[in-house]
Amino acid sequence: MPVDHGAALRQLHRPGDPFILANAWDLGSAKMLVARGAQAIGTSSAAHAFTLGLPDGELTRDQALDHAQALISAVNVPVSGDFENGFGDSPDSVAETVRLAADIGLAGISIEDTALPADTPYGFDLAVERIRAGVDAARSLPKDFVFVARADGILRASYDIKEALRRIAAFDQAGADCLYVPMPASVNDLQQVIASTDKPVNALVAGPYCNMSRATFAQMGVARISLGSSLARVVHRTIDDAGRAMFDTGDFSDLAGGMSGAVVDKILRGN
C-alpha cells in the first residue's frame, strides 16, 4: 500500500517534541539530509532560487512544482513545499496551487501573506480569504495534506507582533493546520505566538535563533523547526569566502577539509 505522506507529515507535528523540517535545494542535499536523519524535507524558495541564479521571490509556480517533484522522487520521506504566496494574489490562485502541489505528491504546503515580489502584506481580509481558500482546497483532497499559514510581516518589516498575532489567530480560525511567524523580534515574541494557538507552531532557525537548541524550542512548545535557506546560505558563504581568497590573493586553503568524494558517493548511494 502506498505511504500516505500527508498523514505521516501531520503525525510529526507534536508541540513540545519538534521535528526538523530539513529544507533542501537539490537532490543531493535532500538525500544527504535524509541519510543523516531528516524525517521530512522542505523545499526552500530562496535556496531553490539561488540554484537558478535568481534572488528570492522570483520563482514561477511551474519551477517550484518541478523542483518539488524532483525532491519527492529522490527521498522516501514526506516533502513539504515552500510555495511563497501561492504564486498568485487571488484566493483561487492559492487553491489551485494547493491542488497542483498535492497532484505531484507533496505532503503539505506553506503559504505566506506577502504580495510578492513586493514586500507589502496583503490586506487583512484578503490575507484571511487566501488562507481559507487554500485550506478548503486541502480538505477536498483525497489524501491528507498539511496546510501551513505564514504571517511574514515581521520578517519583511511591514508589521509588528501585534498584527502577526491578529493574523495567525484569523488563519487558525480559517482552518490552517500549522501557524508560522518567521523571525519574531525576540524569544518572548515567539513564545507569544506559541501561546496564542493550540495548533502546531513552526519556528525558523535563522539569525539569532541559530543559537537556540532543539531542546530549548521543545521547552517553548514548538512543534516544527524549519531551516529555510539557512543551510544553503552556509554553503554560499563558503563559496564566497573561498572565491575571495582564490581570486584576490591566490589562496586555496579554504578548499582544504572538505568531505571526501568517496564518502559523499557512499551517502548518495544509500550505503
| Mean predicted lDDT score pLDDT of the chain | 96
Q: What percent of the chain clears pLDDT 90, i.e. is strictly above it?
A: 93
Domain that holds residue 69: 5-230
Q: Structurally, how many domains does the chain consist of?
A: 1
Residue 36 pLDDT class (50, 70, 90 cuts)? very high
Please report whether residue 249 resides in a domain: no
Please report whether residue 41 resides in a domain: yes
Helix axes 161-173, 124-139, angle to 10 degrees: 30
- Averaged pLDDT for residues 169-177: 98
Per-residue pLDDT reduced to its tens digit, 98-110:
999 999 999 999 9
Q: What angle do CA 62, 29, 64 make, to 5 degrees?
A: 10
CB 18 within 8 A of CB 222: yes
Please report whether residue 199 resides in a domain: yes
Distances (CA, A) of 42 to 65, 109, 145, 183, 192: 13, 9, 14, 18, 25
Please report whether residue 121 resides in a domain: yes
Write down the pLDDT at residue 56. 86
Write down the pLDDT at residue 130. 98
Residue 270 pLDDT class (50, 70, 90 cuts)? confident
Please report whether residue 268 resides in a domain: no
> Cell 511563497 appears where?
84
- Averaged pLDDT for residues 125-148: 98
- Averaged pLDDT for residues 18-32: 97
CB 199 within 8 A of CB 131: no
Please report whether residue 190 resides in a domain: yes
204 three-state secondary structure: strand
Please report whether residue 18 resides in a domain: yes
Residue 159 pLDDT class (50, 70, 90 cuts)? very high
Given a cut of 60, is residue 68 above it in pLDDT? Answer: yes
Residue of higher predicted confidence among 191 and 56? 191
Domain holding 59: CATH number? 3.20.20.60
Residue 127 pLDDT class (50, 70, 90 cuts)? very high
CB 68 within 8 A of CB 104: yes
Please report whether residue 257 resides in a domain: no
- Averaged pLDDT for residues 198-219: 98
Per-residue pLDDT reduced to its tens digit, 182-198:
999 999 999 999 999 99
Write down the pLDDT at residue 1. 53
Q: pTM for the whole thing?
A: 0.95
Task: Count other C-beta atoms under 10 Å from residue 41's C-beta.
Answer: 25
- Averaged pLDDT for residues 63-69: 98
Residue 212 pLDDT class (50, 70, 90 cuts)? very high
CB 29 within 8 A of CB 50: no
Residue 55 pLDDT class (50, 70, 90 cuts)? confident
Q: What is the largest CA-CA distance in the chain?
A: 59
- Averaged pLDDT for residues 219-234: 97
